[in-house]
Structure 1
Amino acid sequence: MQRLELDPRDDWQQQLEAVGMNYHTPNGEPYWDESACYRFSASQIDILDDATAELHSLCLQAIETIISRRLFNKLRIPAWAIPYIVASWERHEPSIYGRFDLAWDGQGAPKLLEYNADTPTALLEAGVAQWFWLRDRFPDADQFNSIHEKLIAFWQRYRQNQPNLHFACVAESDEDLGNLEYLRDTAIQAGLTSHWLAIEQIGWEPSAHRFVDLRNQPIRALFKLYPWEWLLQDEFGRYLPQARISILEPPWKLLLSNKGILPILWELFPDHPNLLPASFEDKPLQGDYVRKPLYSREGANIEIRRGCSTIETGGSYGSEGYIYQRHVQLPNFAGNFPVIGSWIIADQAAGIGIREDKIEITGNNSRFIPHYFVEN
C-alpha cells in the first residue's frame, strides 16, 4: 500500500459533475482529492475482500445473539420498536448495502473501526467517480470496485417482488442527494419504477394506516437515506410498525449501525484478527482507547485518549451512551491518515473507497482519495 502524489486532471471538476458528483468542493475546500492516490497489490486487495466478507458474516451472527439474549437495552433500542425490528429480521427483509471502515497499512489484518450499516455515503465516489478517474489515469491497472454492477444486480432481483420504489433523503444535503440519485439511477437501469421526494414530504394517512407521497399515492416500498434512530424519534416513527411498507435499509440494520455492535462482536469473537477490543462504558478499557457515542455520525463527539494526550471532536451526540474501543494507529503518510471504507453490496464484498484527513478522526469533510491496484 503506497500513497502517490499526482497532478489532477485538467478538467476534473467537469468530469465529476458529468457523473452527478456536484459536491466535490464544499465551501471552497476539496472533498474529492486526486492530487494523490493509493496503490495496492492484487494480494492486498484479496486480503481486503476476505476481511470484508468475514466481518459481514460475524455481524449477521451477532444479530442472532442480540435477539436471543435480548441485548436491545445495550443498544438503547426503544422497547416499542423491538418487535418491529425482530419481525424484520425473521422475515429476512433484504439489505442492499453497508460500509466497513477499516484501519490498515497493507500489512497484517485489517481492523474494523466501525460499521456504517444503515446510511453509508461516499457510494457515488467509490462506485463511479473513481472508476472514471482510473480509466483516465491508469487505464492498464485495475480497481477493487464492482459496486455499480452489484447494485444493478440487486435491484434486478428486488423488482421481481417490488417493481415500484420511492427514494427519500433530506433535501438540503447535496451529498445525500447525490448518493440517493445514484442509487435511484441504478434502480432505474434495473427496470424499477422510481419516485423521489424529500423525507419531510412523506405524509401519513391515518384512516388507511399508510404513508403517502405528494400525489397522495401510497408508499409501499421506500429507500431512505435517513438514519433509523432518527426515524424512530420522529413524530410519525411510531406509525411504522402498523404501516404496510417495506423499507431499505430494513429495520434490523439498526442493530448493526449502532456502535454498540463493536463490544458485542468482541465478546462473541474475542481476539479475532479483524476486530479491536471494545467494551460498553460500564467496562472501560485500560490503556489507549477511543470513546465513541452509540449513534455518532461524521466523526462527531469522538475522543482518542493516547497516553497523556487527547484528540476530540465536537457535536451533539453522547447522551445515548458510549462504547470504548482499543486505539489502533492509523497509517500515517506524510501527515495524512487514511481510513479504508470497504463496501458490502447484497451480502458480497464489492470494493473500497478511501477517506483521509490530517487528524486521526475521519469527519464529514475528510477528503476522498481514489485508488488502484496492480498484479503482484
Structure 2
Amino acid sequence: MKRQAITPRPHWQAKLERLGFDYHSMDGDYWQESACYRFTERQIDRLEDATTTLHELCLAAVSFIINHDRFAQLGIDPATAALIEQSWRQREPALYGRFDLVYHPVHTPEPKMLEYNADTPTSLFEASVAQWYWLQDNFPHADQFNSIHERLIGQWRLLTEHWPAHAAITFATITDSIEDVVTCRYLQDTALQAGLTAQFMDLRNIGVMPTPAQTDQIGQIGQFVDLADQPIEVLFKLYPWEWLLEEPFAAHIATSHTQWLEPIWKLLLSNKGILPILWEMNPGHPNLLPSYLADQREQLANYPLKHGIIEKPLFSREGANISALNSDFTVTGLATSGEYGSTPKNQLIYQAMEPLPMFMTAQQQPVYPVIGSWVIGHGAAGLGIREDNSLITKDSSHFVPHYFD
C-alpha cells in the first residue's frame, strides 16, 4: 500500500462532470486527481476477506442484541426496539453498507474496524463510477477492487423477490445536499438498470393519507404517499433512522406497509454501540479493536493502549464529536466539534485507538487515509479511500482513487 503522486488528467473536471459527479471540487479539492493509492493483489484479498468476516460478525451481533434485549445500552427506546425486532424477524433485506477500516500492511497487517456506516453511507458514486473511469484513463492494464455497480444491479433484482409484484421504488433525500442527491440519483439509476420502476423526490414532500388529523378522527391507518397521493410501496431514504424517528410522521412507520431501505434493523449497525457488543462477543478478534460502553471503560486498562483511546457518541456522523484520550482518559487536545453531544440517550463509547497510517504529499504535508470497504447485499464489493490531514476523518476529507497490481 503506497501513496503515489501522478499527473492529473487533462480536463479532468469536465470528465467527472460528464459522469454526473458535480461535487468533485466540494470544499475546494474533494476529489484528488494528483495522487492515488497502489495495492498488491494480496493486500486487496486481505481487505476483502476482513470485510466479509466483519459483516458476518455484525449480523450475529444484531441477533444477539435482539435475543438478549440489549437495546437500552444502545440508546434505543422500547417502541423503536419493537420495530427493529419485527424488521429482523421478517428478514427485511438490505442494500448496502460501508466499513471504515484502518489498514497499513507494515504496522497493521490485519484491517481493523473503526465503525460500520450501515444506514446512510455516502462516497458511493465516487467509489463505484468516478474512480473506475479514472482507472481506465490512468492504469488501463491494472485492476481495482470495485464491483460495486454490477453488484448493486444484481442486488436490486434479488430485492424484488421480497416486495409486491411490480412494486415501484421511491428514492428520497433532503435535496439541499448535492452529495446526497447524486448518491440517491445514482442508486435510482442502478435500480432502473435492473429493470425496476423508480422515482425521486425530496423527503420533505412525503405525505400521509389520511392525514394525521384525519387518522385521529376516523381511526384509519396512515399510508405514506408521494406528490400524486399514490402509496409509497418501497422507500429508499438517504436519511438516518435516528433522525427519522424524531419526525412526527414516525408514528406511522409501523402501520404504513411501506418497505424500507435501509431496513430499521440497520439502526443497530450504524450505532457506535455495536462496537462494544462486537468486542464482548469476539474478544481478541484480529479485525476488531477493544471497545466498551462508558460504564465499563476501565476494562480498557487490560489491553496495551500504545496510542490511547477514542471517545465517541453512540450516534454521530462524519467524524463529529470525537475525542482522542490518553490511556488514563485525560484529554490530548485532538478532538472534533459537532451537534452530537453526550446525552442520556446519546451516551459515549470508548475504543482503543489504532492510528491511521501517515503518508506525505508532494508538498510534504502529512495525510491519513481511511479505507471505506463496501458491502452490497451480504458481500464485499469494493473500496474507496478518504484521507484527512488529521487522524480523525471528517466531512472535509478528500477522496483518493486506487488501483492494484
Do both share a fold (TM > 0.5)?
Answer: yes
Does 2:240 match 1:227?
Answer: yes
- Code of the residue aligned with 1:195 in structure 2: it is Q
Taking the TM superposition and a 5 Å limit, the aligned residue runs for 1:28-177 are 29-107=28-106, 108-160=109-161, 161-162=163-164, 163=166, 164-177=168-181
2:315 alignment partner, one of 284, 295, 304: 295
**1:341: how far off?**
0.3
- What's the counterpart of residue 7 of structure 1? 7
Does 2:347 match 1:321?
Answer: yes
CA distance in 2, matches of 1:9, 1:78: 51
Q: What's the TM-score once normalised by structure 2's chain length?
A: 0.90
CA distance in 2, matches of 1:357, 1:368: 9
CA offsets, 1:218-254, max 9 Å, x none?
A: 1011001000001111111121011111000001000
Aligned residue for 1:34, secondary structure, equals coil
CA offsets, 1:95-151, max 9 Å, x none?
A: 010000000012410000000000000000000000000000000000000000000
2:374 alignment partner, one of 334, 343, 352: 343
**1:323: how far off?**
0.5
- The range that moved more, 143-152 or 283-292, is 283-292
Where structure 2 has 5 or more consecutive residues not aligned to the other structure, the ranges are 211-219, 361-365
Does 2:393 match 1:362?
Answer: yes
Q: What's the TM-score once normalised by structure 1's chain length?
A: 0.97
- Code of the residue aligned with 2:25 in structure 1: it is T
- What's the counterpart of residue 216 of structure 2? none
- What's the counterpart of residue 24 of structure 1? 24
Aligned residue for 2:176, secondary structure, equals coil
Whether the 8 Å CA contact 1:159–1:191 is kept in 2: the answer is no
- What's the counterpart of residue 240 of structure 1? 253
Does 2:334 match 1:311?
Answer: yes
Whether the 8 Å CA contact 2:221–2:255 is kept in 1: the answer is no
- The range that moved more, 150-159 or 216-225, is 150-159
**1:346: how far off?**
0.8
CA distance in 2, matches of 1:247, 1:111: 30
- Code of the residue aligned with 1:300 in structure 2: it is A
Does 2:297 match 1:266?
Answer: no
- What's the counterpart of residue 215 of structure 2? none
2:224 alignment partner, one of 211, 217, 234: 211
Identical residues among aligned pairs (%): 51
**1:25: how far off?**
1.0
**1:208: how far off?**
4.5
CA distance in 1, matches of 2:355, 2:396: 21
Does 2:192 match 1:179?
Answer: no
Root-mean-square deviation (CA, aligned residues, Å) is 1.1
Whether the 8 Å CA contact 1:8–1:35 is kept in 2: the answer is yes
- The range that moved more, 162-171 or 135-144, is 162-171
**1:305: how far off?**
1.7
CA offsets, 1:47-98, max 9 Å, x none?
A: 0010000000000100111011100001111211111110100111110100
CA distance in 2, matches of 1:237, 1:76: 17
CA distance in 2, matches of 1:341, 1:264: 21
Where structure 1 has 5 or more consecutive residues not aligned to the other structure, the ranges are none
Whether the 8 Å CA contact 1:280–1:324 is kept in 2: the answer is yes
- What's the counterpart of residue 214 of structure 2? none
Aligned residue for 1:241, secondary structure, equals coil
Does 2:310 match 1:279?
Answer: no
- Code of the residue aligned with 1:344 in structure 2: it is V
